[in-house]
Structure 1
Amino acid sequence: MNSRSKLLVAASVVALVQIGFLASAIYSRASLLRNGQEITLRTAPVDPRDLLRGDYVALSYDISRVPVDHIQTARPRDNEVVGTVYVRLKRGKGHALAQIIAAGLGARVNQTPGENEIDLKGTSLDRWQDDLDSINVQYGLERFYVPEGDGREIEQGLGERQFTMRVAVGETGDAQIKALYDGDTALYSEPLY
């Protein structure tokens, strides 16, 4: 095999690996949207612009602040970063809002989730202090990209009306935004692909 043939084979292998990686990421996201359990979360505004990706609605949720008295696992040492948080939510009937019922730091709450309960995985960069009332948790759901020009209008509406986000949650606790709602009206839905 000459050097030109070796180069062609190497380039083909690299291209196949890259395509495989992209296909895996797309399939993983689509699978979560299609098969994940759905919850509804109340949103709150932050800021709507990203120079590289366009307009987005930056969000926080009612469940972004987890009360310390809901934590049912061991707690970190003083001044240690909290890290991974599993928040047990009780799903509302229909599209009623999900509510925090328990939380685990670094591990899920010991008991198996009951009917209409689901564990959502997040991260807290807060440093643990024994006198904390709550910890701030991010779930990877804090940005929702919208068509250019719509971000500011939605942000203004967030202060005036109740917006909710429908979210698909997989068995591992990972989540993906499905749709943004203004009351009962769907403003945007994420396509599977």
Structure 2
Amino acid sequence: MSGKKLIVAATLLAIAQIGILSWIIAGRAAVLRNGAEVLLKVEPIDPRDLLRGDYVRLNYEIRNVPVKILTNAPAGEFVTEEGPVLLRLGKDADGYWRARSATLGAPSGPPPAGEVDIRGSIRGGWTLGPDAMLSVEFGIDRYYVPEGDGVAIETDMRERPFGILAAIAADGKPQIKALMDGQTRLYEEPLY
């Protein structure tokens, strides 16, 4: 390959990489800017990442979903499939959003006014007994905070309610918008 062709190929590759990164960033910003806001109750797990600094690892109250609220539970006693799950959330009197129903796979239709669908995923191997629970992961289980703040926030989270203000896209994908200490925004995510 000649030098001129090599330069053109390298330039096209660089433009493609910049385009892909810009698309990812713009997609995240669009969810934060236009997504439906919900307040989710959280509990701390662990405050430190050796490579990236302090963070608060979040265990969402809505993570544990009773099987009995599944609208399309498969027949049988044991299910091994993994896959997407949509939780239909509604706002309670205390301001936090909680699961009203759950659907495996695609939703049955758009949520009614005052409710929002959040997309998560389940691991296989859960039972369908009357008291069984699904464990749902949403992909928003860490929130990075300024260095030195992680341990203090974890301690505070054990003493009083904390939440995450999440923006939820029309397809149910959540993004963390802010870490909340009661009604106070401690940290807010920038759009870019």
Which bracket does the TM-score occupy, shorter chain normalised?
Answer: over 0.9
Any idea what the Cα deviations from partners look like across 1:138-170, whole Å, max 9, x if unmatched?
111110010111111111111101111100000
Measured after TM superposition, the shift of residue 92 of structure 1 is 4.6
Structure 2: distance between partners of 1:80 and 1:58:
27
Counterparts of 2:97 and 2:176 in 1: how far apart (Å)?
A: 14
Structure 1 partner of 2:87: 87
Matching residue of 1:145: 144
- 2:125 maps to 127
Aligned-CA RMSD value: 1.7
- 8 Å contact 2:67–2:128 — kept in the other structure? no
Distance 1:112 1:27 in 2: 25
Q: Which residue of 2 aligns with 1:21?
A: 20
| Shift in Å, 1:73 | 1.3
2:156 — aligned with what?
157
**1:1-193 superposed matches below 5 A:** 3-75=2-74, 78-92=78-92, 96-108=95-107, 110-131=108-129, 133-193=132-192
Runs of 4+ in structure 1 off by over 4 angstroms are: none
5+ long unaligned stretches in structure 1: none
% identity of equivalent residues? 44
1:128 CA drift (Å):
2.5
| Aligned-residue offset at 1:130 | 2.6
> CA distance change for structure 1 residues 161 and 129 in 2, over 3 Å: closer, same or farther?
same
Amino acid at match of 1:152: V
* 1:151–1:23 CA distance, 2 compared to 1 (3 A): same
Contact persistence 1:76–1:82 (CA under 8 A): no
Q: Distance in 2 between matches of 1:18 and 1:76?
A: 46
Which has the larger displacement, 81-90 or 127-136?
A: 127-136
Q: Is the Cα contact below 8 Å between 1:41 and 1:98 reproduced in 2?
A: yes
Letter aligned with residue 83 of structure 1? G
Residue identity opposite 1:4 in structure 2:
G
Residue 147 of structure 1 aligns to which amino acid in structure 2?
P
**How far apart are 1:111 and its partner, in Å?**
3.9
Residue 76 to residue 179, structure 1, CA distance change in 2 (3 Å): farther
Looking at structure 1, the residues matched to 66 and 79 of structure 2 have their Cα atoms a distance apart, in angstroms, of 18
Structure 2 unaligned spans of 5+: none
For 2:160 and 2:125, how far apart are their aligned partners in 1? 33
CA shift in 2, pair 1:101/1:170, >3 Å: same
**Aligned partners of 2:75, 2:179: CA distance in 1, in Å?**
35
